[in-house]
């Protein structure tokens, strides 16, 4: 039981580190399921499991981005808790995914509660400014904001890992094969969902061809995502200079600019 307590604290601290990435480090992306789950694997001594759960949860969360006030299901919290369960109980990455999702929804709700509580800090800061207590005002941000956001991750992770491991272990042992196989397929569909969600934010009119090009390069030619990205950067830079008239394009445009009626395709019939 002591080791469970220690594990719960360690995993909780991993969660705090990930959360503070977006709070204090401008979201350098430590707050991503892949990183959180891998760190959990490191502190619990099972890196491979952490990586596997991290990769699976990361794929689902690809499309989940906090835009404005809408808080998506918190797959970072889900990934951290799921990785802890997988490491502590020996469950597979697919099984862990089913733990990740309810935890992510719970995290979403907690996120809403905490972000509402912080509204009050804002009003306390307003009052402090009126009284000339400037330090009190900005400490609402840098001290109390940090504390509240840390608790928002530490508490649920600690409780889930400390109390939940035995329960989850028992449930995992009862899962029949058809469920395990089904969850394996489900994790693939979830990945498709994550990518589709990403696409809803990215596809603009006339840009779908690039999606198809990227897919075709990888599926027919067997290129890796790295290779596709490199081709994409080169292609995008070429197209940009054509579209916006940089470089040689600009030279041509300015040559044409000397005579506003100049049209290289125009026939010289009237001469």
Partner 1 sequence: MAENKIQSVSKNKKIWQFFWRSWAIQDSWNYERQMNMGFLYGLVPTLDRCYPNENDPEQLEKKKEAYRRHMAFYNCTPQTSAFVLGLSASMEEQYAENTASLNPDSINAMKTSLMGPLSGIGDSFFQGTIRVIAFGLGVSLAQQGSLLGPVLAMVISIIPSVLITWFAAKLGYEGGNAYLQKLQSGNMMDKVMYVCGIVGLMAVGGMVATLIGATTPATFSDGTLVIQDILDSIMPQMIPLALTGAMYALIKKGVKTGWLLVICIVGGIILSSLGILA
What part of residues 7-26 is at the interface with partner 1 (CB under 8 A)?
22-26
Residue 162: burial class (beta carbons within 10 Å; 0-12, 13-18, 19+)? middle
Question: Is the Cβ of residue 144 or residue 162 nearer to partner 1 in the bound state?
Answer: 144
DSSP assignment of the chain, as one string? -HHHHHHHHHHHHHHHHHHHHHHHSS--S-SSHHHHHHHHHHHTT-HHHHHHHHHHHHHHHTT---BTTBPPP-HHHHHHHHHHHHHHH---HHHHHHHHHHHHHHHHHHHHHHHHHHHHHHHHHHHHHHTT-HHHHHHIIIIIIHHHHHHHHHHHHHHHHHHHHHHHHHHHHH--HHHHHHHHHHHHHHHHHHHHHHHHHH--TT-HHHHHHHHHHHHHS---HHHHHHHHHHHHHHHHHHHHT-HHHHHHHHHHHTSTT--TT---TT-
262 binds partner 1 (CB under 8 A): no
192 contributes a contact to partner 1 by CB under 8 A: yes
**Closest approach of partner 1 to the CB of residue 197, in Å:** 6
Part of the chain binding partner 1 (CB under 8 A), chosen from 9-17, 82-90, 218-226, 259-267 = 218-226
Q: Which of 5, 203 has the CB closer to partner 1?
A: 203
What's the min distance (Å) between Cβ of 2 and partner 1?
A: 29
Residue closer to partner 1, measured from CB, 207 or 258: 207
DSSP code per residue over 2-65: HHHHHHHHHHHHHHHHHHHHHHHSS--S-SSHHHHHHHHHHHTT-HHHHHHHHHHHHHHHTT--
Query: Judged by CB under 8 A, does residue 54 bind partner 1?
Result: yes
Q: Which stretch binds partner 1 (CB under 8 A): 3-11, 50-58, 160-168, 261-269?
A: 50-58
223 binds partner 1 (CB under 8 A): yes
Q: Which x/- pattern over 163-182 shows residues binding partner 1 (rule: CB under 8 A)?
A: ---------------xx-xx
Contacting partner 1 (CB under 8 A), which of 144, 169, 171, 175?
A: 144
Q: Which residues pair with 70 in a beta bridge?
A: 67
Of 3-11, 116-124, 156-164, 166-174, which segment contacts partner 1 by CB under 8 A?
Answer: 116-124
- The correct pick among 9, 13, 106, 121 for binding partner 1 (CB under 8 A) is 121
Q: Which of 40, 59, 91, 157 binds partner 1 (CB under 8 A)?
A: 59
# residues contacting partner 1 (CB under 8 A): 108
Q: Which of 6, 109, 142, 251 binds partner 1 (CB under 8 A)?
A: 142
Residue 106 interacts with partner 1 (CB under 8 A): yes or no: no
Q: Does the footprint of partner 1 cover residue 87 (CB under 8 A)?
A: no
Q: Give yes or no for residue 134 binding partner 1 (CB under 8 A).
A: yes
């Amino acid at each position: 039981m002591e080791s469970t307590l220690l594990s719960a604290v360690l995993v909780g601290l991993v969660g705090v580190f990930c959360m503070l990435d977006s709070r204090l480090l401008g979201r350098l992306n430590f707050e991503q399921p892949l990183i959180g789950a891998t760190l959990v694997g490191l502190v619990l001594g099972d890196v491979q499991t952490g990586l596997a759960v991290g990769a699976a949860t990361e794929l689902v969360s690809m499309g989940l981005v906090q835009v404005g006030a809408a808080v998506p299901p918190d797959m970072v919290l889900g990934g951290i808790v799921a990785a802890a369960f997988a490491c502590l109980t020996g469950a597979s990455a697919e099984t862990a995914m089913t733990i990740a999702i309810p935890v992510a929804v719970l995290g979403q709700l907690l996120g809403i509660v905490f972000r509402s509580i912080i509204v009050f800090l804002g009003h306390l800061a307003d009052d402090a400014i009126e009284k000339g207590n400037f330090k009190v005002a900005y400490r609402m941000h840098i001290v109390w904001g940090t504390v509240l956001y840390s608790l928002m991750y530490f508490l649920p992770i600690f409780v889930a890992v400390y109390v939940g491991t035995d329960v989850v272990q028992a449930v995992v042992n009862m899962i029949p094969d058809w469920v395990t196989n089904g969850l394996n397929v489900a994790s693939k569909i979830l990945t498709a969902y994550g990518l589709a969600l990403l696409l809803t934010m990215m596809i603009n009119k006339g840009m779908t061809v690039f999606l198809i090009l990227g897919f075709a390069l990888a599926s027919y030619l067997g290129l890796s995502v790295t290779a596709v990205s490199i081709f994409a950067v080169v292609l995008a830079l070429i197209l940009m200079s054509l579209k916006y008239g940089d470089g040689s394009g600009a030279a041509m445009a300015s040559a044409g600019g000397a005579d506003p009626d100049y049209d290289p395709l125009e026939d010289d019939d009237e001469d």
